[in-house]
Copies of this chain bind each other. A is one copy, B any other.
Amino acid sequence: MTAMPAPADIPAPALDLATPYLVVDRDVLDRNIATMAKAAQERDLALRPHAKTHKCLEIAQRQIDLGAVGLTVATVGEAETFRKVGFDDLFIAYPLWASGSRGTRLRALAEQTALRVGIDSVEGARMLARAMRGTDTEVLIEIDSGHHRTGVLPEDADEVALAAARAGLRVAGVFTFPGHGYGPGRRQQAGADEADSLARAADVLRDAGLTTTVRSGGSTPTAAMADATALSEIRPGVYVFNDAQQVELGSCDWPDVALTAVATVVSRSGRRAILDAGSKVLGADQPAWATGGGRLPDHPEALVTALSEHHATVDFPDGACPPRLGELVRVAPNHVCTAVNLVDELIVVAGGSEVDRWRVAARGANG
C-alpha cells in the first residue's frame, strides 16, 4: 500500500480558508454513492445508508435519489434533524432507552414519519412500548453477530421479540452490526458471521410464531459480501467518503477517498513535518492495527506518528521529500464519522475548485 500512487483526481484546493478544514470531492462522493446503490440493487438488497457518517442533508438526498429506501441514524437527535426537512423513513439502529423526554421525542417522531427502532432487551422493549403506545412504530431486534457490543445472541432473539410483541410493538425483524470486521483480514469472517447470525435469528423468530421480513446488516467493510439469501437490507455509512481505516482494511483504495482535511505545514525538522490538523479536526480514533493517526493520500510513504489537538506529527522515510513549511497537505482521517462531527460545514470541491458548502446539520446530535 505504501507504493500506492497519489490520486490524480483529488487536487488539493488552494482556497484561502484557514486550515485545517474538511474538503469533499463531489465527483468521488457521487461515484461512491452510485457504486453502492448499484451493488445493492444488483443483489436485490434494500440500501438504508447510515447518515451518522455525513450528517448532511445534501448527501442524504443524493443517497435517496439513487434508490436508498430510507436512512439509518444512531440517535433521536439525528432522526429529528433529518425528519425536519422531509426524510420520512428512518431507522434508529440503536437499543434506545425510551424514558422521559427521549420517549416523548420518539413518539413525536413516530407520529410524523415511518420509524423503526432497535431493541436488545425485554426491559428496553417494555419501556419503548409504553412511550410509543398507539403509534405505528416497528422494532428490529439487535443481534450480536460477533462484535460483542450491543445485541442478543441469535438463539435469544425470541425472548426480546415476544416481549416486544406482547407489549404492543410491531416486530419487523432483526439487525446486526458486524463491527468485528474492523481489523486486517477479518472482513470475510465478519461478513459470514453477519449472514449466519441474521439467518439464525430470523429462524428463531419464525419458530416462535413471529412473521418478520427485515434482516438488516452491513458495515462498509462487509457490504461487498452481503447477499439476499441471508440479508434483506444493508446499512453502510462510511462508504460515501471512505477514510484511512478503510484503505488500510482493503475496503477501498486512495482514489475512493472523497473527504480529506487540508492542513498547513507549520513546523519542520529533519524528515519530520508538523501539520496544523490534529485530533480536533481529524478525530483521535486509532485502532491498534492502524499505521498512525491518519494517512496522507499524496504522500503514502509518510506516517502520522502522533496526533495532538492541533498538531499531526508526520514522519517521512529516508529519501522521501517532505513538504515545505507553509505548504498545504491533505490528510485522510482514520475514521471519517468522527472527523465530520467536528466541523460545522464541509467544503465541497469539483475539479479542484470550491463549488458548494454543506452544513453538517446533525453535528453534535448525540442525544
Q: Which residues of A contact B (CB under 8 A)?
A: 16-21, 52, 74-77, 94-97, 99-102, 105, 120-121, 123-124, 127, 148-152, 179, 264-269, 272, 274, 276, 279-281, 283-286, 306, 308-311, 313, 325-326, 335, 337-338, 341-344, 364, 366-367
A18–B75 alpha-carbon span in the complex (Å) = 10
Q: Is the CB of B18 within 8 A of A77?
A: yes
Closest to A341 in B: B280
In chain B, what residue has the closest Cβ to A74? B310
Q: Given A325-B121, A341-B342, are A19 and B274 also a contact pair (CB < 8 Å)?
A: no
Report whether B281 and A284 are in contact in the complex, using a CB–CB cutoff of 8 Å: no
Look across to chain B and name the residue whose beta carbon is closest to the beta carbon of A277: B366
Closest to A337 in B: B309
**For residue A335, which residues in chain B have a CB less than 8 angstroms away from its CB?**
284
B342 touches A364 (CB 8 A): yes
Tell me, rounded to whole Å, the shortest Cβ–Cβ distance linking A54 to chain B. 13
A311 touches B149 (CB 8 A): yes
- 26 A-B pairs (CB sep. < 8 Å): A16-B100, A18-B77, A18-B102, A20-B367, A52-B309, A94-B266, A94-B276, A97-B325, A99-B326, A121-B267, A121-B325, A124-B267, A148-B313, A149-B306, A150-B267, A151-B267, A279-B283, A280-B366, A281-B366, A284-B284, A284-B338, A286-B286, A309-B338, A341-B342, A342-B342, A343-B364
Q: Which residues of B contact A276 (CB under 8 A)?
A: 94, 97
Knowing that A18-B76, A95-B266, A120-B267 are A-B contacts, what are 14 other residue pairs whose CB atoms are under 8 Å apart, sorted by A's residue number?
A16-B101, A19-B367, A74-B310, A97-B264, A121-B268, A121-B325, A123-B325, A149-B306, A279-B283, A280-B338, A280-B364, A280-B366, A284-B284, A343-B366
